Amino acid sequence: MIPKIKTFANVGLQGHEIVVEVDEAKSLPTIDIIGLPDAAIRESKERIRATFRNVGIQLPRRKFIVNLSPSDIKKIGTSFDLPMALWILLLIVEGKFHHAEQLEQFLFFGELGLDGEIKRVNGLLPSVISAMKQGYKHFFVPAENVYELEYVPDIFIYPLSTFRQVVQYFLHNEELPVISEAKQIEQLYDRDRSYDLDFQFIKGQILAKRALAIAAAGGHNVVMIGAPGSWKTMLSKALQSILPPLEFEEVLEVSQIYSVVWKLDKDMPLVTHRPFRQIHHTASKISITGGGSNLTPGEVSLAHKGILFFDELTEFPREVLEVLRQPLEDRSVVISRVAGTIEYPANFMFVAAMNPCKCGYHKDPEKPCICNLHDIKKYQSKISGPLLDRVDMILEIPREHIDKILDTIQSDSSATIRAKVLHAWKAQQTRFAGTGIFSNAQMGSRHIDEYIHLDEQVKQFLIAAAQKLTLSPRVVHRTIKLARTIADMESSEQISVNHLAEAMQYRSKTMFVEAD
Single residue among 394, 419, 434 that ends a domain in this structure: 434
The residues facing 141 across adjacent strands are: 159
Question: At a CB cut-off of 8 Å and minimum separation 6, what does 478 contact?
Answer: 220, 390, 391, 392
- CA gap 12, 334 in Å, rounded: 10
- Residue closest to 417 by CA, chosen among 230, 246, 210: 210
Report if residue 480 sits inside a domain: no
Kindly report the CATH number assigned to the domain that includes residue 235. Answer: 3.40.50.300
Residue 235 and residue 158 share a domain: no
Q: Is 375 exposed, middle or buried (0-12, 13-18, 19+ CB in 10 A)?
A: middle
Within this chain, do residues 375 and 422 fall inside the same structural domain, yes or no?
yes
* Count of domains observed in the chain: 2
Round to whole Å and give the CA distance between 71 and 77.
Answer: 15
Whether 75 shows a pLDDT value over 70: the answer reads: yes
Predicted local confidence at residue 2, as pLDDT = 63
The pLDDT tens digits for 269-287 are 999 999 999 999 999 999 9
pLDDT category of residue 423 using cuts at 50, 70 and 90? very high
Residue 5 reports pLDDT greater than 60: yes
Q: 287: burial class by Cβ within 10 Å (0-12, 13-18, 19+)?
A: middle
| Distance of alpha carbon 44 from alpha carbon 476, whole angstroms | 57
Contact criterion met (CB below 8 Å) for 133 and 157 = no
Half-sphere exposure (CA, 13 Å, Cβ side) for 230? 27
Four-point Cα dihedral 240, 360, 394, 233, nearest 10: 0
Domain of residue 151, residue span: 5-172
Is 140 domain-assigned?
A: yes
Do 300 and 377 belong together in one domain? Answer: yes
Q: How confident is the model at residue 480 (pLDDT cuts 50, 70, 90)?
A: very high
Q: Which of 434, 449, 482 is the last residue of a domain?
A: 434
The angle at the Cα of 184, spanning 183 to 189, to the nearest 5 degrees, equals: 125
pLDDT band at 92 (very low <50, low <70, confident <90, very high): confident
Q: What is the pLDDT of residue 163?
A: 96
**% pLDDT > 70, the chain:** 96
pLDDT value of position 365: 86
Residues 355 and 307 grouped into a single domain: yes
Bridge partners (DSSP) listed for residue 68: 20
The answer to whether the predicted template modeling score (pTM) of the entire model surpasses 0.75 is: yes
- In this predicted model, what pLDDT tens digit does every residue of 219-258 receive, in sequence order? 999 999 999 988 899 999 999 999 999 989 999 999 999 9
- Measured CA to CA, the distance from residue 364 to residue 351 in angstroms comes to 22
Is the domain of 363 the same as that of 246?
A: yes
Quick check: is 146 in a domain?
yes
Q: Is residue 49 part of a domain?
A: yes
481 located within any domain: no
Phi, psi values for residue 367, rounded to 5°:
-120, 125
Both 365 and 284 in one domain: the answer is: yes
Q: What integer pLDDT is reported at residue 516 of this predicted model?
A: 43
Confidence of residue 24 (pLDDT cuts 50, 70, 90): confident
Structural domain contains residue 237: yes
**What CA–CA distances, in Å, run from 355 to 154, 233, 235, 360, 377?**
52, 11, 15, 5, 13
For the chain, give the longest Cα–Cα distance: 89
Q: Three-state DSSP class for 144?
A: helix
Same domain, 286 and 427: yes
Band of the pLDDT at 25, cuts 50, 70, 90? confident
Are 208 and 281 in contact by the 8 Å Cβ rule? The answer is no
For residues 208-217, one letter each, b for 16 or more C-beta atoms within 10 angstroms of the residue's C-beta and e for the rest, the string is: bbbbbbbbbb
Q: State how far the Cα of 408 lies from the Cα of 387, in Å rounded to an integer.
A: 40
Q: Does residue 70 have a cis peptide bond before it, meaning omega lies within 30 degrees of 0?
A: yes
Measure the CA–CA gap between 224 and 41, rounded to whole angstroms: 48
Do 328 and 418 fall into the same domain? yes
| pLDDT score recorded for residue 101 | 84
Residue 46 lies in a domain: yes
Same-domain pairing of 315 and 395: yes
Distance CA 54, CA 70 (A): 31
Which among 238, 251, 250, 144 has a CA at the least distance from the CA of 197? 238
Residue 469 lies in a domain: no
Average pLDDT across the chain, whole number: 91
**Tell me, what CATH number does 94's domain have?**
3.30.230.10
My answer on whether 217 and 157 are in the same domain is no
410 and 355 part of one domain: yes
The pLDDT score that the predictor gives to residue 338 is 72
**What tens digit of pLDDT does each residue of 189-213 get?**
766 566 778 898 888 889 999 999 9
Q: Can you say how many angstroms the Cα of residue 245 is from the centroid of all Cα atoms in its chain?
A: 15
Q: Are residues 277 and 159 in the same domain?
A: no
